[in-house]
Amino acid sequence: MDTNETPNRSSIRAGVDRRTIVSLGGLALLCGCVADGSRTLPGPIWPDLDESCPIPPAPPTASGGRATPSPLPAGGVLPRSDWARGAPICSLMNPMLPVKYVTVHHDGMTPFTAEDQRSSAGRIEMIRNGHRGNGWGDIGYHYVIDRDGRVWEGRAINYQGAHVKNCNEGNLGICCLGNFDEQSPSAAQMAALERQLKLLMRTYGVPKSRVKTHQEWAGAKTACPGRSLQASMVKLRRSSALA
Ligand SMILES: [Zn+2]
């Protein structure tokens, strides 16, 4: 919710102040709220990026290496190619900086209770479509967690996300499907979120104090991730589950 894409690399190279450009793009307020009306998925489209647009290296891990591909828990992991109907526009995205934060979101659309893979894939594509409609290079989140606890790859971690206005640098974004002002996350969804948070914290050396929800960012004028998930996140961080 309430996200923004970053300026393109040529702007950065030209020395234009990043925040100035971001503010121009900050008018876009949609998260996954723009749908094209289609709920069918004709098949993945994931063409190779052309040579003029090389994929940047993944951000460094806590051990000094690089996580390639995106660190994902074993089992139930679905790659971007399983749901996306369009390729990312890399000229609209910046390389990811060293990871310092993880931020949790909901999609904030209408309540969503479907647990099947196809419905979840359609929902994620709707989000991507909305984000592309805002002029962003790809879906803004790096990971998406559905109601059945599947973890889906979103934007490649090699690229900075677009999920917290003005605060996307070094910030991994996780979106849980649903609207948690109007429903609660499923047990499977919370269990998967906890596992994914632990994995990312361990991989990138992110302390619990830097695991945030969207509304916890200073200046974030949003209710994201909704009352229920916000309460669950507060409880999770108070527990010993996240070391
Ligand atoms: Zn959000």
How many angstroms separate the alpha carbon of residue 34 from the centre of ligand 1?
Answer: 15
C-alpha separations of 81 from 15, 48, 97, 116 in Å: 34, 11, 24, 17
Note the pLDDT of residue 14: 35
How many angstroms separate the alpha carbon of residue 134 from the centre of ligand 1?
Answer: 15
How many angstroms separate the alpha carbon of residue 51 from the centre of ligand 1?
Answer: 33
User: Among residues 6, 4, 33, 34, which one has the least CA distance to residue 18?
Assistant: 6
How many angstroms separate the alpha carbon of residue 37 from the centre of ligand 1?
Answer: 22
Query: Which fold, 9-34+71-238?
Result: Lysozyme-like (3.40.80)
Which residues touch 70 (CB under 8 Å, ≥6 apart)?
Answer: 58, 142, 143, 153, 156, 157
pLDDT digits (tens, 9 = 90+) for 174-227: 999 999 999 999 999 999 999 999 999 999 999 999 999 999 999 999 999 999
How many angstroms separate the alpha carbon of residue 224 from the centre of ligand 1?
Answer: 5
67 vs 105: CA distance, rounded Å:
23
- pTM, 2 dp: 0.81
Note the pLDDT of residue 52: 58
Note the pLDDT of residue 148: 95
Enumerate residue ranges in the chain where pLDDT < 50.
1-2, 7-48, 50
Note the pLDDT of residue 19: 34
How many angstroms separate the alpha carbon of residue 48 from the centre of ligand 1?
Answer: 29
The residue ranges of every structural domain in the chain are 9-34+71-238
Note the pLDDT of residue 64: 79
Note the pLDDT of residue 121: 97
Token digits of residue 47: 């063409």
Using an 8 Å Cβ cutoff, are 73 and 195 in contact?
A: yes
How many angstroms separate the alpha carbon of residue 20 from the centre of ligand 1?
Answer: 21
